[in-house]
A and B are shown apart, each in its own frame.
Chain A
Amino acid sequence: MTSLTNTLGPLPLATSASWPARLAAPLRRAGHWAAGLLLPLALFALWQYAVDRQWLAEQILPPPSLVWQSLGELWHSGELRDHLAISLTRVGWSVLLGGGAGLALGAALGLSRSARAYLLPSFELVAQFPVVGWVPLLIVFLGIDEALKVAAISLAVLVPVTVNTHRGIAGIPRPLLDVGRVYRFTVPQTLWRVVLPAAAPSLFNGLRQGVMQAWLTLVFVELLASSEGIGYLMVWGRQLLQLDLVVVAMLAIGAVGLALDLALRWAESRLASWRRGAF
């Protein structure tokens, strides 16, 4: 990246020649931060200005202060936490179910040639259908209760986890398995000491994609058919024409999505370091 930078243009904030070198790096980092904040601040100012000038009706564009106030109220009354807890419980169960099934299916596809021959074409076909397309069908079979949400979200988790597990296991370099044979590893030993560590990055990739898909599907299912949860908060806010509720719910959705992603990344780096330590 640095050399691309050097070739295509000088670093914008690299005017540190006159400063002591110690100060330059943190200052530059602060500069990067400040630059990143500029656009959100401008948008925020535009929002406030639009409200002041009443470009849009107040019901449609609530002032930032109102959104902030609703956020505080919803948080203090515990309503926001309740909705989030319900949504996260749904995602948790689905990740457990869909992830477990995906792991088993992906491992079977990766390890066994006959499982691949029997199941892979069918799986690839089914995986083509977007999960949201299944939802109306699932509604008929399962009703609109928890079962529907967990089933739909589990399906969304299952596909990326299976695909990545399968690829991770199928992509293990032959020499690693050869070494395992030289050491006369039994099958469980081979699985635990060769297959699992070698496929771990891919497994984690699948899990991360799965969780992101789960969060997306959750929002959709709750928008479509729910009476509680963070997606329902949005529907409710829209029906009452309280756009501040909608914006608060969106903020919560974004924040939770970000937190999930960061948590998984952190867990992955922890596990990866453990993995290196074990060998």
Chain B
Amino acid sequence: MSAYSSVLTLDPVLPTQAATPTPRPRRRLWSALGRALLAWPFPLAVLLLWQLAATYEWVPSQILPSPATVAGTFADLWRSGELQDNTAISLWRVLWGFSAGATLGFVLGVAMGLSPLTKDYLYPTFKTFAQVPALGWLPLLMMLVGIDEALKIILIAKASLVPIALNTYKGLQNVPTTQIELARVYRFSRWQLLRHVVLPSAFPPIWNGVRYGLTHAWLALVGVELLASSEGLGFLIVYGRQLYQLDVVLAAVVVVGAIGWALDRVLAVIEKRLLRWRVEGF
């Protein structure tokens, strides 16, 4: 029953209680600490289970290496520079593919959002094009451009283009009518209208699209490197699996997850900064 307390049972909030600003800082610190501590039992239990499974060899050690082995492999890969090299290659591909895809997607989204004529011509084709997932283009592109860098960059660009174009378009479409009417009352020029009304209002959805785009780009990169590559993080995973070195696979998977998380965090921080500027600007 206490499990439902957060949503279902409402504490009788008396006016005096509501008026009390915040609990004393020490109590807040304790509850924050408590919450931070509660996050640990579950992952620790999983880790313990893993360690037990490795120690008592419930699963052959080729299939499930012990946590210590994985950590050791990670350190080895790091020291030999293999990990950094492959990560750098992967990041380079994402950088190129994402820049190309984001630029194209933004231009496409703006064109479709601002000009109904362009939208009429392009939108149905764009929707059809977007229906096939990025990795579905892989076999066809392999034939057309080979399995070199071009393949990876085109696929990553496609993966990031779709969400960015779609969100830019939707963001521009959903600019509130009242704001545009107000701007017309002030006799804003078209440039002023774009700069002071349309762009600030459409920014959050556009940035959302950028974040989705980067996530998709990272996903497409790992996919394409798993399927067709001879270097990069995805290849490290394939290579580890083929040699039955699961410790290499696990180490590479951890790096893939960490970088995906870091990329998203960076964009979130940038968003906060940009939005702060926006609030100050008005």
Q: Do A and B bind each other?
A: yes
A residues apposed to B, CB below 8 Å: 1-5, 7-9, 11-13, 31-32, 35-40, 43, 60, 110-122, 125, 128-137, 139-141, 169-170, 172, 174, 177-178, 181, 187, 190-191, 195, 215-216, 219-220, 223-224, 231, 234-235, 237-238, 241, 243, 246-247, 249-250, 253-255, 257-258, 261
16 A-B residue pairings within 8 Å (CB atoms): A8-B193, A36-B120, A37-B124, A40-B124, A111-B8, A112-B4, A112-B6, A122-B42, A122-B46, A125-B43, A137-B246, A137-B250, A187-B1, A195-B8, A220-B223, A258-B131
On whether the beta carbons of A128 and B260 are closer than 8 Å, the reply is yes
The answer, yes or no, to whether B142 is at the interface (CB within 8 Å) is: yes
> Roughly how many angstroms separate A129 CA and B249 CA in the complex, as a whole number?
13
CB-contact partner of A224 in B125, B173, B227, under 8 A: B227
On whether the beta carbons of B177 and A118 are closer than 8 Å, the reply is no
The 10 closest A-B pairs by CB, nearest first: A36-B124, A35-B120, A129-B257, A117-B38, A121-B39, A112-B3, A113-B6, A216-B133, A254-B131, A128-B261
> Roughly how many angstroms separate A216 CA and B241 CA in the complex, as a whole number?
23
In the complex, which residues of chain B have a beta carbon less than 8 angstroms from the beta carbon of A9?
Answer: 115-117
With A139-B241, A216-B133, A257-B133 as contacts: A247 and B6 at CB distance below 8 Å? no
Smallest Cβ-Cβ distance to B181: which chain A residue: A3
> Which residues, 17 to 59 on B, are CB-close (under 8 Å) to A?
34-35, 38-39, 41-43, 46
CB-contact partner of A130 in B42, B122, B138, B218, under 8 A: B218
In the complex, which residues of chain B have a beta carbon less than 8 angstroms from the beta carbon of A132?
Answer: 219, 222-223, 226
The answer, yes or no, to whether B180 is at the interface (CB within 8 Å) is: yes
CB-contact partner of A4 in B34, B120, B137, B180, under 8 A: B180
CB-contact partner of A129 in B6, B63, B115, B253, under 8 A: B253
The answer, yes or no, to whether B128 is at the interface (CB within 8 Å) is: yes
In the complex, which residues of chain A have a beta carbon less than 8 angstroms from the beta carbon of B183?
Answer: 7
CB-contact partner of B180 in A7, A32, A191, under 8 A: A7
In the complex, which residues of chain B have a beta carbon less than 8 angstroms from the beta carbon of A237?
Answer: 139
> Roughly how many angstroms separate A35 CA and B117 CA in the complex, as a whole number?
8
On whether the beta carbons of A35 and B241 are closer than 8 Å, the reply is no
Instruction: Classify the secondary structure of B's interface with A.
Output: helix
- By CB atoms of chain A within 10 A, which of B34, B128, B218, B258 has the most? B128
In the complex, which residues of chain B have a beta carbon less than 8 angstroms from the beta carbon of A243?
Answer: 140, 143
Smallest Cβ-Cβ distance to A37: which chain B residue: B124
> Roughly how many angstroms separate A66 CA and B116 CA in the complex, as a whole number?
36
On whether the beta carbons of B139 and A234 are closer than 8 Å, the reply is yes
The answer, yes or no, to whether B144 is at the interface (CB within 8 Å) is: yes
> Roughly how many angstroms separate A246 CA and B137 CA in the complex, as a whole number?
9
On whether the beta carbons of B122 and A250 are closer than 8 Å, the reply is no
On whether the beta carbons of B4 and A187 are closer than 8 Å, the reply is yes
With A35-B121, A129-B257 as contacts: A8 and B115 at CB distance below 8 Å? yes
> Roughly how many angstroms separate A128 CA and B219 CA in the complex, as a whole number?
11
On whether the beta carbons of B4 and A118 are closer than 8 Å, the reply is no
